[in-house]
Amino acid sequence: MRDPNVPESLEGWWILHRMFVLDRRAWDALPEKRRAKYSSHATDLFEHLQSGKDGDVGLAQIVGHKGDFMLTHYARTYEGLAYAQTLVDKLEVREYLAPLGSYVSVLELGMYDATAKIHAELQSRDLTPHSPEWIAAFDELVRKQAESPYVGPRLWAKIPQRRYACFYPMNKKREGEDNWFMLPYADRAKLMTEHGKVGRSYHGLVTQVISGSIGFDDFEWGVDLYADDPLVFKKLIYEMRFDEASARYGEFGAFWSGVQFSSQELRVFLDGDAVPALDSST
């Protein structure tokens, strides 16, 4: 995006959230050997998808009536998401996991401040806007942002290994006078700066992953929160509701929350004899 009114963004992992309901009675009715075999096959696949640098998988038991299981998958390519989805659907356990919903997005770092600085830099060079030289310089400055020691690791960080997870989609409002996209760039940048201060005040207590979904799903962004105390979700989101960027311009979809667990604990989750554990060292 090279329009001075449109903030640039940097993208990392492709992300697919999938929500399921588990038919526990049908699963419990299976013979022990079949349950052991099916859960072992699924665990092997999840561990395979978690290994290496090309992707990751997060498993969570959903709390509440909306479902039982949330699978979060990271992939370096869009095709990688499609391939992982196919592999999961071929598992025997999928016969007992009915899909409830899904969400497709790509990990995103917004660049309100950086975009303004890039345009100011190009203006100082007296380059003709949108000329080949201007475009080349613009792309080079964006590339440097992506390769910085601070930004790069955030684009390709693995799924946070924290016990509790919360996911929800959101939009910026486009209604009458409350149209986010019609605000001047400087106003939007100021609001996002103030909004970010709230999130940074919870540094260390919560890990936030923002993903863009315009063109991929029904909302504009997806938000993942990970914490060691579920009350942090309530406190953070409640405080943000008083921030103008959310109070006036935020629209929210369904919230999904639950407990993350390790792939080795899949059998525990399926059998339902205990709450599956998370080994944060993996």
Residue-wise pLDDT tens digits, 20-35: 999 999 999 999 999 9
With a cut of 60, say whether residue 282 has pLDDT above it.
no
Residue ranges covered by each domain of the chain: 8-111+152-271
pTM score, whole prediction: 0.90
Distances (CA, A) of 167 to 116, 141, 160: 30, 32, 13
With a cut of 80, say whether residue 75 has pLDDT above it.
yes
- According to the model, what pLDDT value does residue 47 have? 96
Give the whole-angstrom CA distance, residue 168 versus residue 103: 10
Give the whole-angstrom CA distance, residue 63 versus residue 61: 6
Q: Give the residue-averaged pLDDT of 244-265.
A: 96
- According to the model, what pLDDT value does residue 90 have? 98
Question: 207 - beta bridge partners?
Answer: 226
Q: Does residue 173 or residue 143 have the better pLDDT? A: 173
Could you give the count of Cα atoms lying within 13 Å of 191 in the half-sphere of its Cβ? 19
Q: Give the residue-averaged pLDDT of 49-76.
A: 96
- According to the model, what pLDDT value does residue 2 have? 60
- According to the model, what pLDDT value does residue 136 have? 84
Using DSSP's 3-state secondary structure scheme, residue 218 falls into coil
Under 8 Å between Cβ of 265 and 188: no
Q: Does residue 12 or residue 115 have the better pLDDT? A: 12
Phi, psi (5° rounding) for residue 133?
A: -70, -40
Q: Give the residue-averaged pLDDT of 117-124.
A: 77
Q: Is the dihedral of CA 94, 95, 96, 102 positive or negative?
A: positive
Question: 102 - beta bridge partners?
Answer: 18
- According to the model, what pLDDT value does residue 235 have? 96
- According to the model, what pLDDT value does residue 196 have? 86
Question: 203 - beta bridge partners?
Answer: 206
Q: Residue 94: which of 15, 16, 21 has the closest Cα?
A: 21
Q: Which residue has the tokens 């991929």?
A: 216
With a cut of 90, say whether residue 132 has pLDDT above it.
no
Q: Residue 116: which of 140, 136, 134, 142 has the closest Cα?
A: 142
Mean of all residue pLDDT scores within the chain: 91
Confidence of residue 36 (pLDDT cuts 50, 70, 90): very high
Active-site positions read 168
**Which residue type does 183 have?**
L
With a cut of 80, say whether residue 104 has pLDDT above it.
yes
With a cut of 70, say whether residue 280 has pLDDT above it.
no
Question: 103 - beta bridge partners?
Answer: 17
Give the whole-angstrom CA distance, residue 195 versus residue 250: 11
Write down the CATH number for the domain with range 8-111+152-271.
Answer: 3.30.70.1030
Percent of the chain at pLDDT exceeding 70: 96
With a cut of 60, say whether residue 68 has pLDDT above it.
yes
